[in-house]
Amino acid sequence: MRLHNYTLLYISIALFFIIGVWASIFYIQMLDEIYDSIDDTLGNNKALIIKKSKTDTTILYKSDFEESNYSIKKIDAASAKKMKDVYVDTLMYMANEDDMEIVRLLKTVFTINHVDYYELNVISSMVEEDDLMEDLFYSLFWLYGILLVSIFTVNTLVLRKVWKPFYSLIQQLEHFNITKSAFVAPQTKVHEFKLLNKSIESLLKKNSELYISQKQFIENASHELQTPLAISINKLELLSEKNDLTEADMILLTAAIENLQRLTRLNKSLLLLSKIENKQYADETTVAVSSICKRLSEDFEDLAEFKNIQISFEKQADLNIQINADLAEILCSNIIKNAIVHTDNGGFVTISVKQHSILIENSGDKALDSEKVFQRFYKNATKKNNTGLGLAIVKSIADKYGFELRYSFMDKHRIEIIFSK
Amino acid sequence: MKILVIEDELSMQEIIKETLEKESYIIESATTFDSAIDKIVSYDYDCILLDIMLPGGSGLDILSELKKLDKASNVIIISAKNSIEDKVMGLNLGADDYLIKPFHIAELTARVKSILRRKSLNGKNEVEIKNVKINFDDRTVAINNEEVIFNRKEYDILAYFISNKDRLVNKAALAEHVWGDYMDQANDFEFIYSQIKNLRKKLKDHNADIEIQAVYGIGYKLHVL
C-alpha cells in the first residue's frame, strides 16, 4: 500500500466517525432550537388568542381547528385547576398532503373573570424529522465524499512534491553499488529528509570505507604472504635436492610443498580477485574468444586425457568481444579448467562457442545450487584440493563487463557466459 | 660467470645464491638500493637478478641507471607484484625477463641459463650433453647428430630438464613451465606423466645418453648415463 493511500485510509475512517458524531450533536441541537422556536410561537399565539377572546367572544365557541390553528373548549373549574401548559407532538390530518402529519400542540387553560374556564389548543406545523434527517444525511454524505476527494487530490499533489526527495533517495539506493558509485543525497528542505539523507550518507560512507579497507587488507595480506610462501617453497625445494634424503623424508617434503603450493594458488586467486575489483585491468582490445577457447581445449587435453575425459570443442560462430586480453584468458581458462577438474573420470566436457555466448557442459550426476555456484569458496566436498575461487573469479570478470552467467542442469552441468543480447 | 642478486629479503637471497651456486656461478649480492648502485657502477656482471621493491629506492631506477651505464643487459626482474605495468616498464627499461614470486628454483635456473646462453661468446644458443644436442633458437634436438622430432610439449620438457641437469624438478614447476600458468590450479600434476612417458620412449629409442628419472612422488631428474 502506498504511503498516501495509507494516510487516506486512516483519514477516511477518522472522518467517518468525526462526521458521524458531529452530525448527531448538530441534529440534536438543531431540533432543540426548532422546538424552542415553535414553542415560543405557540406561546405567543396563546397570548394573542386569549387577548382576542376578551373582545371577540365568538371565538370561545370555536371548538375545531378548521382553517385556523387553534380550538377552544369550555371545561369545568375543577379539571381546569389540575391542568398545566403542555407542549406535545401529535398527529393531525393535513388536507394538502392527505395524510397524518406531526404537529406541535400547546394545550393550555384560561379563564374569563374566574368564572368560565376554557381549554385552548394551539398548533403549529412541525419540521418533518424523517425528512430533516434524510436531508442532513445526504448533505453529510456529499460533504464526506467531497472531503475525501479533496483530501486525496491535495494529498497526492502535496505528497508527490514533498516525497520527491524520498523517492529519488530510494532510487539512488536501489542502484547503489559499493564498488562503483558515489552517493549524492537529493536536495530537500524537509528536516526529516535532511536527517535521513545525512544518516544514509554517513552509513554508506562508513560502509565504503570498510569495504575499501577490507579490500586493501586482502590485497596487502596476499602481497605480504607471497614472500614467506616463496621462501618456504624454495627452501623445501633446496632441501629436496639433497641426495641423502630417504623416500619417507621425500614424501613428507612433497606433502609440505604441495600444501604450500595450494596456499600460493589460493593467495594468487585472492590477489587476482581484488585486482579485478580494483579495476587494475583497464585496457581493452578486441579479443577472439573462439580461438582462445580452441587453444585452451588443446592445452587442457593432457589433463583431460589423464582423467579419461572426452573434451570437445565446437565453434558455431566467431566470437569477438571487447575485453582486457589477460582477463579474457583468465575467464576462459578458469571456466574450462573448472569443468575438467569437476568432471569425474570417464566423463566429458564440451565447449561450444556461439554467436554471443560460450557454453561449457560437463557430465555430472546432480545439480548444484545455482545461487551459490559462483560464490567464493563454494565447493564440492569431495574435491579437497581446489581453491573454490575459480568460478568466483569468472563471476567477478563477468560482473566487471556486465556479462551474464547462467548455470543450469539437464543431465549435465551447463554454464553459459552470455556476452551480449 | 658472475651474477649479482639484488634482493632485500635475506632468506630469498640465500635461496637464489644456493640455487645458482649449484650451477657453479659466482654470486654476489646487494640488499639495498645504494649498495646495488655501488656494485653495478664498480663491476660488470653476466646477469643481474633484480627485486623491484628495495629499501631506499625502486628496482626500476636501478634499471634506468644500468641503461645509462650501458649495462642494461641480462637483467631478470624478480618481483612479488604480478603487475603488467611493472612488467612492461621493466622490459622497456632493458630488462630481459620478469619472474614473479613465488617461483620454483628450477624456473629460476632455467631463466638464468637461458639468458646466459644468449650472451655466450660463440653466439650459438646450444647445449650439448653427451650425444644429445639441443638448439634453443631453432627448438631442435639432435641425438647422435641425427635430428629427432619432438612435439612442443616434449621439447619444452626436455629443454627444461636440460637447463636443470642433475637437479630435481618438481612436478608443479614442470607443469607451470610447460603447460602454462593456469595449470597451477590443476590440483594434481599426474597428467604430465603421459608426455614424460613419450619423451622417455623417444630418448630410449634413439639411444640417448640421458634419461629422465622419477624421484619418488615429488618430480623428475635428468640423469646423464
What is the Cα–Cα distance from A67 to A69, expressed in whole angstroms? 7
Is A276 an interface residue toward B (CB < 8 Å)?
A: no
The pLDDT-based confidence of B177 (bands split at 50, 70, 90) is: confident
Listed in sequence order, the residues at least 6 apart from A315 whose beta carbon sits closer than 8 Å to its beta carbon are A290, A293, A294, A352, A353
In total, how many domains does chain B have? 2
At B100 the pLDDT is: 86
B-contacting residues in A 292-321 (Cβ below 8 Å): 299, 302-303, 305-307
Sign of the CA dihedral A372, A378, A379, A380? negative
- Residue of chain A minimizing CA distance to B217: A251
Q: Provide the whole-model pTM.
A: 0.67
Listed in sequence order, the residues at least 6 apart from A417 whose beta carbon sits closer than 8 Å to its beta carbon are A331, A335, A357, A358, A394, A398, A403, A404, A405
Listed in sequence order, the residues at least 6 apart from A263 whose beta carbon sits closer than 8 Å to its beta carbon are A225, A229
What is the Cα–Cα distance from A343 to A90, expressed in whole angstroms? 102
**Residue where one domain finishes, among candidates B75, B93, B119:** B119
Interface test with B, best of A229, A237, A296 (most B CBs within 10 A): A237
**Average confidence (pLDDT) over A276-286:** 82
At B7 the pLDDT is: 92
Residues B7 and B63 in one domain: yes
Contact A226 B101 (CB under 8 A): yes
CATH code of the domain covering residue A51: 3.30.450
What is the Cα–Cα distance from B6 to B16, expressed in whole angstroms? 10
What is the distance in angstroms between the Cα of B68 and the nearest Cα belonging to chain A? 30
Residues B131 and B23 in one domain: no
- Residue of chain A minimizing CA distance to B192: A302
Q: If you write DSSP's letter for every residue of B192-203 in order, what string do you get?
A: GHHHHHHHHHHH
What is the Cα–Cα distance from A105 to B197, expressed in whole angstroms? 130
DSSP H or E segment with residue A157: helix A129-162
Q: Is the pLDDT of residue A352 over 90?
A: yes
CATH code of the domain covering residue B170: 1.10.10.10
A217-274: per-residue pLDDT in tens?
A: 887 888 788 888 889 999 998 898 887 888 888 888 888 888 888 888 888 888 888 8
Residues A25 and A129 in one domain: yes
Calculate the CA dihedral of residues B113, B115, B119, B125 and round it to 10 degrees. Answer: 70
The pLDDT-based confidence of A79 (bands split at 50, 70, 90) is: confident
ipTM surpassing 0.90: no
Question: Which chain B residues are Cβ-neighbours of A257 within 8 angstroms?
Answer: 170, 172, 218
Q: Pick the range with the lowest mean pLDDT from A278-287, B89-98, B162-171, B180-189.
A: B180-189
Is B73 an interface residue toward A (CB < 8 Å)?
A: no
Query: Average pLDDT over chain A, rounded to whole?
Result: 85
Nearest by Cα to A267 from A230, A234, A310 = A230
**Average confidence (pLDDT) over A12-34:** 89
B33-73: per-residue pLDDT in tens?
A: 999 999 999 888 989 999 988 888 888 899 998 888 887 67
Listed in sequence order, the residues at least 6 apart from A117 whose beta carbon sits closer than 8 Å to its beta carbon are A74, A75, A76, A77, A79, A80, A109, A110, A111
Burial state string for A30-60 with b = 16 or more CB within 10 A and e = fewer than 16: eeeeeeeebeeebeebbeebbeebeeeeebb
At B15 the pLDDT is: 92
**Residue where one domain finishes, among candidates A116, A149, A182:** A149
B-contacting residues in A 211-250 (Cβ below 8 Å): 223, 226-227, 229-231, 233-235, 237-238, 240-241, 247, 250
C-alpha cell at B94: 632493458
Among residues of chain A, what percentage have pLDDT more than 70? 97
Q: Which domain holds residue A36?
A: 3-149
Is B19 an interface residue toward A (CB < 8 Å)?
A: yes
C-alpha cell at A239: 632441501
Nearest by Cα to A343 from A269, A416, A413, A262 = A413
Residues A34 and A95 in one domain: yes
Residues B112 and B83 in one domain: yes
Residues B101 and B159 in one domain: no
Residues B199 and B160 in one domain: yes
CB B145 within 8 A of CB B196: no
Nearest by Cα to B15 from A89, A99, A231, A96 = A231
Residues B87 and B130 in one domain: no
What is the Cα–Cα distance from A145 to A15, expressed in whole angstroms? 10
Residues A11 and A142 in one domain: yes
Contact A227 B9 (CB under 8 A): yes
Question: Which chain A residues are Cβ-neighbours of B153 within 8 angstroms?
Answer: 302
- Determine the straight-line distance between the first and last CA of chain B, rounded to whole angstroms: 27
**Residue where one domain finishes, among candidates A224, A255, A277:** A277
- Determine the straight-line distance between the first and last CA of chain A, rounded to whole angstroms: 35
Residues A140 and A49 in one domain: yes
Residues B28 and B114 in one domain: yes
Residues B114 and B132 in one domain: no
Helix axes A3-55, A129-162, angle to 10 degrees: 150
Compare CB distances from A265 to B12, B185, B193 and report the shortest one's residue.
B185
Residues A139 and A220 in one domain: no
Contact B216 A337 (CB under 8 A): no
Compare CB distances from A251 to B19, B182, B217 and report the shortest one's residue.
B217
At A310 the pLDDT is: 92
DSSP H or E segment with residue A128: none
Is A263 an interface residue toward B (CB < 8 Å)?
A: no
Residues B114 and B130 in one domain: no
- Residue of chain B minimizing CA distance to A304: B191
What is the distance in angstroms between the Cα of A285 and the nearest Cα belonging to chain B? 15
CATH code of the domain covering residue B88: 3.40.50.2300
Helix axes B193-205, B152-163, angle to 10 degrees: 80
CB B109 within 8 A of CB B20: yes
Q: Is the pLDDT of residue A380 over 70?
A: no
Q: Which domain holds residue B211?
A: 126-224
What is the Cα–Cα distance from B172 to A262, expressed in whole angstroms? 11
**Residue where one domain finishes, among candidates A253, A277, A301:** A277
Sign of the CA dihedral A129, A132, A137, A140? negative
Compare CB distances from B11 to A231, A247, A254 and report the shortest one's residue.
A231
In total, how many domains does chain A have? 3
Residues B115 and B173 in one domain: no
